[in-house]
Amino acid sequence: MPITTMLIKDEIFARMDELSPAERKVARTLLASYPSAGLASAAALARSAGTSAPTVLRLLSRLGIGSYPEFQQKLREEVSNQINAPVRRSEAVRRLDEDDLLGHAIARRAGLVADLAGSVPPSEFERAVRLLVDKPRHVLVTGGYFSRYIAMLLAAQLDEVIPGVDFVDQPVGRQIGKLLSLGNRSVVIIMDFRRYEESAASAAEAARARGAAVVVITDQGLSPAAEHADVVLPVKVAGIPFDAMVGLLALTEALVEAVLDGADERGLSRMKDWETSVRIQRAERTD
């Protein structure tokens, strides 16, 4: 399919499900550092993606681009057009008074949620959902220094929808046994964001070695764990003073919702079992 007026990154984004695993690595590298990754040499792009130069050229051929120089020329034209275009973000978010701190904070975070549609390829999201709906024997969920709290939430909610879900705090530490029990019908979900943690990459590599499917949820810089992933879901996390987790939380809730929808009656039945079996003492207000 030849590229017309569509940006190259949008073309790649839309066709992720058509790519081979090696081509997806190149695509993820391009999307993570667009367009700068493509302005380097084909060999440098291949090294960054952990693939080969022929794989880069196969991806371009799939996109209807005849050569690497042609690809780079198209990128340079895109950059030139964007420099001369109005700032589109200002059209989407109304201007707030400089002293409206809360308004600014809300607008930035609302933007991160809205940006999910442009950072997470639908085909990758759907692939993650299929892995979880297809009756996995075991699902392990783990996270990093801050993201572990969202990982705990994801594990708790998934556990009410599908069986065999565990949150693991130290997958290559004292809970290594959970990792060693994985097999080819297992799924591991790893959250790892910038200032990436060595344990995330180690866990992803070990899980793949044992035949498990690996889903990595990371920022657009891509965690090293992504090198061992079957599915990568990149989320924008730019925040002040810390990385903002609102996009990650929205993606987590969307994932659980999609798994419930895919599990259909199985998921609803498990949720009903939870509701009738679990007893939670709740405080009641008295007048």
Q: Does a structural domain hold residue 27?
A: yes
Verify that 214 and 258 share a domain, yes or no. yes
Q: Bigger pLDDT: 79 or 11?
A: 11
What 3-state class would DSSP assign to 214?
A: strand
Q: Bigger pLDDT: 34 or 186?
A: 186
Verify that 59 and 175 share a domain, yes or no. no
Q: 154 pLDDT exceeds 90? A: yes
Q: Does a structural domain hold residue 96?
A: no
- What pLDDT, on the 0 to 100 scale, is given for residue 284? 67
Q: How confident is the model at residue 286 (pLDDT cuts 50, 70, 90)?
A: low
Domain count, the chain: 2
Q: 2 pLDDT exceeds 70? A: no
pTM for this predicted structure: 0.73
| pLDDT tens-digit map of 189-220 | 999 988 888 889 999 999 999 999 999 999 88
Nearest to 136 by CA among 206, 207, 199, 192: 207
Verify that 253 and 186 share a domain, yes or no. yes
Dist CA 149 CA 143 (whole Å):
7
Structure tokens at 60: 């371009």
- What pLDDT, on the 0 to 100 scale, is given for residue 5? 63
Q: Kindly report the CATH number assigned to the domain that includes residue 162.
A: 3.40.50.10490
Percent pLDDT > 70 in the chain is 88
Verify that 129 and 13 share a domain, yes or no. no
Verify that 267 and 127 share a domain, yes or no. yes
Verify that 234 and 177 share a domain, yes or no. yes
Q: 156 pLDDT exceeds 50? A: yes
The residue out of 39, 68, 84 marking a domain boundary is 84
Which residues constitute the domain of residue 256? 119-276
Verify that 270 and 176 share a domain, yes or no. yes
- What pLDDT, on the 0 to 100 scale, is given for residue 1? 39
* Cβ-contact 216, 190 below 8 angstroms: yes
- What pLDDT, on the 0 to 100 scale, is given for residue 277? 82
Dist CA 61 CA 63 (whole Å):
5
What 3-state class would DSSP assign to 215?
A: strand
Q: Bigger pLDDT: 65 or 97?
A: 65
Verify that 134 and 254 share a domain, yes or no. yes
What 3-state class would DSSP assign to 205?
A: helix
Mean predicted lDDT score pLDDT of the chain: 84
Verify that 194 and 138 share a domain, yes or no. yes
Q: Tell me the sheet residues that pair with 188.
A: 140, 214
- Mean pLDDT over 230-246 rounds to 84
Verify that 158 and 225 share a domain, yes or no. yes
Q: How confident is the model at residue 104 (pLDDT cuts 50, 70, 90)?
A: confident
Q: Does a structural domain hold residue 113?
A: no
What 3-state class would DSSP assign to 58?
A: helix
Q: Does a structural domain hold residue 125?
A: yes
